[in-house]
Structure 1
Amino acid sequence: MTTYDTIVIGAGMSGVTAARMLADAGASVLVLEARDRIGGRMNTDRSAGFPVDLGASWVHGIDDSPLWELVQALGVSTIEYTVGSFQAGGRPIENFDGDGARMAGAATAKWVDDVTEADRLLVEEIADSSPGDTYLDVTERALDRSGLDPERIDEIREFFRHRVEEQCGAWIGDLDAHGLDEDEIDGDEVIFPHGYDELPRRIAAGLEIRLDHVVTRVVRTADGVVISTADGEFSARTALVTVPLGVLKAGSIRFSPPLPDAVAGPVERLGMGVFNKIFLQFPERFWDDDSYVLRALGEAGEHWHSWYDVSAVSGLPTLLTFAAGPFGTRMQELTDDEIVADVLAALHRLYGDAVGAPTARWITRWGHDPFSNGSYSHLAVGSSHHDHDDLAGPVDGVLHFAGEATWGDEPATVGAAYYSGHRAAERILGRSIDLAAFAAAIRAREQTPAN
């Protein structure tokens, strides 16, 4: 049996980043990936002749972002799209009131002002919160202090609930009061007209990656680690586990000896959310040309509440909406036809007969995916930001963890996956790795003719 320096479990963004850095440093590295593709939760469908990002879509804030610097260094094409972060105002948004009627400019401005004030009060309530308080607890306290009329309070309550669902894939009552502390966006946001998975695929080029290898057991030994799969066993001096938190929570991989509480505790305490996407392509546009988002407030948007115009990617009229949290969990049990009919009913309430029959659709069910068991991590009640970073280990000096759930500054993002892979590689090597040099090495390798 060949013994590698490091075996990386998972070929998502964190896994291929770490593997590439280790290999560039001269280490022998094997990547074991359960799926039949590279990218993990960065999953781009190109079957229609243009890319549809079924998983990650945005770089959330490009200012002072090493991820954005990587994107630029590799010359990856992007489109500015600064409403990936759920917001009340900002870019042009078509707002509809609880009855489904289009809101005029003055009504929209008043709405944005009311949400801004409620958010200001919310920040104060979060700062004064006690251990065990949920995000629902602090939002209710802020709304009680707002002095707004009951109908507006109900609308903002719904807005807060949807914001938690979109950002965390969780119910507002399951999120810790500090669950959105790290949700600060600095600078514009961008999406990828050629597909987000270009990043991990280019990073992974040339690595030894074995697809369709489902890891079932990781054993720590006196010499390092032994990894078991249905296709045999593999040994290494160190191992890096980059599978999603949902896989760790499900116990799909057995660890022997069992993980210590320093790592097992965060696995148990942190939450894994469900966030599903529904793309609908239409024969013609029925919304304003300059609108980034269509948003239904109050009762009209109880379930389907926001539709994002992503037509720029394909050149065809396309809206993206989300089903997240408990609603997302319920919706993924329905058939595609049932889901589309439900979305269209909500759109008809806003636009009437102007809504045409969709010409194409893409629907995700991340909660059913056995290699993720959800979409991304969040700060569940009883957990803390430290749990994210503590999850990274190491364990006994030979077992490391990476992935968005292990990065406390901005979990649930591709940036977190990238940074955590970088951190893991540095820990395994025992020295720092320059990110600019890392990107330059990828470009140089791509421009070197094959022998």
Structure 2
Amino acid sequence: MPRGGPVPEFDTIVIGAGMSGATAARLLADAGQRVVVLEARDRVGGRMHTDRAAGFSVDLGASWIHGIRDSRLWELAQALDVPTIEFTVGSFQAGGRPIADFDGAGNRMSAAESARWVADVATADRALEEAISRSAPGDTYLDVTERALDALERREDALDPERIDEIREFFRHRVEEQCGAWIGDLDAHGLDEDAIDGDEVVFPQGYDELPQRIAAELDVRLEQVVRRIARAADGVRVETDRGVFTAAQAVVTVPLGVLKAGAIAFEPSLPAEVADPIARLGMGVFNKVFLQFPERFWEDGVYAIRALGEPGEHWHSWYDVSAISGLPTLLTFAAGPFGRHVQTLTDDEAAADAVAALRRLYGAAVPDPVARWITRWGEDPFSHGSYSHVAAGASHHDHDALAGPVDGVLHFAGEATWGEEPATVGGAYASGARAAERVLGRPVDLAAFAEGIRRSEV
């Protein structure tokens, strides 16, 4: 926007109405700014997307708060009286919740066998921590995993090859589920920030209730696909497929995948301080498959089902999410390379493949599902993936560097810009608050923010 031009329409343009965009925009509007939110989709929420068509909530995007202790997001949910259910993701850890484990032959493991498996993983994790601490720049998570397993094989009390292979597969699946990436694409330090503090919770009414309530009183323009952002010292000009908007500043909250795809042209080009982190960080694919059955065929009290060895090569973990709908429902994941493969299948083919994997464990007791929900986030033109990860050669510092600001007028927010808790809604929320603080030049009060939302709803 050239100097001496017309007064901009807005103080701040926020691009994207997901959790980070809604948070930044609401904080700025509450501070008295003229704010407009430009959203490419026909709805608010971004990668928080709840399907309620069946009469209950199915979260097709984000589902969890990953650790509620000292969580600002949990404090927001509590302040807004949003119902939650405790559901700590047991398959990311080898034990800790009642899990039905099946061995490489598809047989249900005894309690003693499962306990041995948990102990094996704990031993391997200690070796993995040591390998990571000794890693060199450029090492991948696959590199350090193989070094850790090699060390276990050389011990006097070495595990047998079959048990080593099961641990190798578990580590691969853990990376796929947590990062949406192949283990060889993740940096050796890619999971350094992956600590979960406290219980995890899900949202029986749907997770997208949070961004929808935050954005309720905002000026949100839907189906506005941003094509170009031009900046100068005195402001920004944002061009969409439907019009042009001008403001003193802009907050860009589109997913990392959109930035990596070059879907938005920046003029002038982004400086290396921001462009290089965009190039280095990775965008993973993490898809969900919900299968609703006419009756329950798995054991009461089982929190999750896990297949080890060959039966779990692709479909390896299923979670009992029946408590959300009151109907027998399992959730499984297709992530990383397998997640991209599933996107090439029809819904019928993907569901049939997942059911066939269950029948290798439970046999004819598995009925045909009566309903299914299958996501394809890697094909979504407004996300180009599910969430970010630290790809080989990147670092957690790249997340925060991506936030900018650029030339004092352009800011970035979203889960990919929050190094302390990337790839989470908590990170998106925190990054939106940080962007608002940088625009305003002062701290924001998130407790007052939540109270303001409550008062506006009365």
Distance 1:370 1:281, change over 3 A: same
- Which of residues 296, 312, 316 in structure 1 aligns to 2:307? 296
How many Å separate the matches in 2 of 1:85 and 1:331?
Answer: 21
Tell me what 1:360 maps to: 371
- Which of residues 323, 330, 351 in structure 2 aligns to 1:340? 351
CA displacement, residues 358-415 of structure 1 (integer Å, 9 cap, x when unaligned): 0000000000000000000000001011100000000000000000000001100000
Unaligned runs of 5+ in 2: 1-5, 153-157
Tell me what 2:130 maps to: 124
How many Å separate the matches in 2 of 1:393 and 1:276?
Answer: 30
Tell me what 1:91 maps to: 97
Q: Which amino acid aligns with 1:95?
A: D
Task: Output the TM-score relative to the length of structure 1.
Answer: 0.98
Is 2:111 the partner of 1:100?
no
Task: Output the TM-score relative to the length of structure 2.
Answer: 0.97
CA displacement, residues 31-60 of structure 1 (integer Å, 9 cap, x when unaligned): 000000000000000010101000000000
Tell me what 1:412 maps to: 423
Q: Which amino acid aligns with 1:129?
A: S
- Which of residues 47, 55, 59 in structure 2 aligns to 1:53? 59
Is 2:212 the partner of 1:201?
yes
Tell me what 2:272 maps to: 261
Tell me what 2:34 maps to: 28
Unaligned runs of 5+ in 1: none
Alignment of 1:159-238 (within 5 A): 159-238=170-249
Does structure 2 conserve the Cα–Cα contact (< 8 Å) formed by 1:60 and 1:85? no
Tell me what 1:439 maps to: 450
In the alignment of these two chains, the number of paired residues is 447
Tell me what 2:155 maps to: none
Tell me what 1:398 maps to: 409
Tell me what 1:138 maps to: 144
Tell me what 1:318 maps to: 329
Is 2:14 the partner of 1:3?
no
Q: Compare 39-48 and 222-231 and name the one that shifted more.
A: 222-231
1:349 offset after TM fit, Å? 0.3
Name the SS of the counterpart of 1:173 in structure 2.
Answer: helix
Tell me what 2:117 maps to: 111
Tell me what 2:3 maps to: none
Root mean square deviation, CA, Å = 0.8
Q: Which amino acid aligns with 2:129?
A: V
Name the SS of the counterpart of 2:294 in structure 1.
Answer: coil
Does structure 1 conserve the Cα–Cα contact (< 8 Å) formed by 2:233 and 2:409? no
1:85 offset after TM fit, Å? 6.5
1:222 offset after TM fit, Å? 3.8
- Which of residues 349, 361, 368 in structure 2 aligns to 1:350? 361
How many Å separate the matches in 1 of 2:233 and 2:19?
Answer: 30
Q: Which amino acid aligns with 1:316?
A: L
1:231 offset after TM fit, Å? 1.0
Alignment of 1:358-397 (within 5 A): 358-397=369-408
Does structure 2 conserve the Cα–Cα contact (< 8 Å) formed by 1:225 and 1:398? yes
Does structure 1 conserve the Cα–Cα contact (< 8 Å) formed by 2:254 and 2:414? yes
CA displacement, residues 269-293 of structure 1 (integer Å, 9 cap, x when unaligned): 0000000000000000011121111
- Which of residues 296, 302, 316 in structure 2 aligns to 1:305? 316
1:221 offset after TM fit, Å? 2.4
How many Å separate the matches in 2 of 1:230 and 1:253?
Answer: 11
Does structure 2 conserve the Cα–Cα contact (< 8 Å) formed by 1:228 and 1:234? yes
Give aligned-pair identity as a percent.
75
How many Å separate the matches in 2 of 1:223 and 1:426?
Answer: 19
Q: Which amino acid aligns with 1:156?
A: I
Does structure 1 conserve the Cα–Cα contact (< 8 Å) formed by 2:50 and 2:60? yes
CA displacement, residues 167-205 of structure 1 (integer Å, 9 cap, x when unaligned): 000000000000011111110000000000000000001
